[in-house]
Amino acid sequence: MQEITASITLVASLASLGYVVGRKIPLLLQFPAKQEGDSAREIFRTENKTSQWLESLRKKAQAKKAAFADDYWEQLKKSKEKKRVSG
């Protein structure tokens, strides 16, 4: 029984995939094979920019982490206890 269910699921999945691909092939064929900026030089500059962007994000994350107080959780517990006592 499980084999029949698995087989039906496989056939249905493959049919769905074939349908989607069949519908998208004409659209994909309309795109040009090569676009402007596909040269190795353009790709290298794009990679370089991405690398610089990721590096700046890492630096920002490290700066935020450094600004985060080491005793933050202790301060939070103390303020919570003060609210209980005064409440």
DSSP state letter for 31: S
State residue 47's pLDDT score.
86
State the amino acid at position 75 in one-letter form.
Q
Q: Which residues contact 75 (CB under 8 A, 6 or more apart)?
A: 69
Give the predicted TM-score (pTM) of the model: 0.38
pLDDT tens for each residue of 57-77? 999 998 888 777 778 888 888
Q: How many CA atoms lie within 13 A of 26 on its CB side?
A: 3
Query: Which residues does the chain have with pLDDT short of 70?
Result: 35-38, 87
